[in-house]
Amino acid sequence: MAELPERRETILKIIVGEYVASATPVASESIARGYSLGISPATTRHEMARLEEEGYIARPHASAGSIPSDKGYRYYVECLLKEAKLSQEEQLAIQRFFYQAEQEPEKWARLAVTVLTQRLKNIALATPPHAPVCHFRHLELIALQELLILFVLVLQEGKIRQQLLALEQAASQDELTALANRLNAAYQGLTYSQIGAQELESSPIEERISGIIMQVMEAEDKQQYEQFYLDGWRHLVSQAEFIKSKKMLHLIEALEERSILNKLLSSLGNESGIKVTIGSENEEEVLQECSVILSNYGTQGRRGAIGVIAPTRMPYSRAIPTVDYVSTIMSELVSGVYA
């Protein structure tokens, strides 16, 4: 983003801080009275007018004070936080939560939600660590009737998937076993995309079975965030933006739909670091008055995700370093188990 003059940056930072704390539009008079900026009230009004013209702040009503826009929050996050960090005391408190916990990754995910919810007073979510992509381990093909077989696929991540298949031509159990053995040798340890890149001379039945293997494995990869923990509804109810508003009901209904949360978590991909999506940057309309802070955690072999969802008027200076630090702790714990 284009850099603002220092004085305008200072005023924007004040407006964000005041509005996050009070949920009340910030007037130029209150800035002039409350802060020693070394400028006149008229100059303060002029700088705020420029911030409004450039889209960083807005006034809900002509006679009201100003509130940050999504662009203003984005500038604040990108340019004004200056790598905000938790205090040593806060870090130690979070460490004690986790290092007293049992060595069970699923419990760490639940604990991460508890820590984030308690400290940030907003909705928090977390997924247990999982393999980023699944790998082929073993295939069995079992003859049941003349044209009906049982397809059993075992993945290296411990999952077993099976389904009934109807063949176009009958095949004996010996033929099915030989086919499974050939595919087991060719596909051992591969991902579905690696299997698709294999160039094998295959019979029609082998091509069909290979296609089903890839379909099953691709579906598993897409459902990697199917299990997650979510908490913090009680804090949403107390937010000024949602009190006596249908927006709260719509947001709750949306978050109860797993598809929206899956999309949010899937948008992280394998990226490291914090991802902050503010207001209208969210693709889902129901989230366009919210900000979402997400982070991956874990190792190359096992990864999960954590995050918070809150109104755009969230305390970014606390939320971002808190999510970041909890992610770091989670990564250390997962590395200790799966290294």
pLDDT of residue 47: 95
Measuring CA to CA, which residue among 33, 28, 58 is closest to residue 46? 28
pLDDT of residue 245: 64
Low-confidence ranges of the chain (pLDDT < 50): none
pLDDT of residue 107: 85
Entry pTM? 0.78
pLDDT of residue 273: 86
Can you tell me the distance from the alpha carbon of 275 to that of 325, in angstroms, rounded to the nearest whole number?
14
Please report, for residues 9, 152, 194, the alpha-carbon distance to residue 205 in angstroms, rounded to integers and kept in the order given. Answer: 66, 16, 20
pLDDT of residue 272: 79
pLDDT of residue 228: 82
> Per residue in 290-313, is it b (16+ CB within 10 Å) or e — as a string?
bbbbbbbbbbeebbbbbbbbbbbb
For residues 231 and 124, the answer to whether their CB atoms sit within 8 Å is yes
pLDDT of residue 134: 86
pLDDT of residue 264: 82
Measuring CA to CA, which residue among 27, 121, 16, 5 is closest to residue 70? 16
Can you tell me the distance from the alpha carbon of 334 to that of 312, in angstroms, rounded to the nearest whole number?
31
DSSP string, 240-284: TTTTT-HHHHHHHHHHHSHHHHHHHHHTTTT--SEEEEEGGGSSS
The 10s digit of each residue's pLDDT in 241-270 is: 665 566 777 777 777 777 788 788 877 777
**Residue 251 corresponds to which tokens in the numbers above?**
């947001």
pLDDT of residue 320: 96
Can you tell me the distance from the alpha carbon of 291 to that of 302, in angstroms, rounded to the nearest whole number?
27
3-state secondary structure at position 11: helix
3-state secondary structure at position 161: strand
Can you tell me the distance from the alpha carbon of 305 to that of 322, in angstroms, rounded to the nearest whole number?
14
Sorted by where each starts, the structural domains of the chain and their CATH numbers stand as 6-80 (1.10.10.10), 88-131+225-338 (3.30.450.40), 136-222 (3.30.390.60)
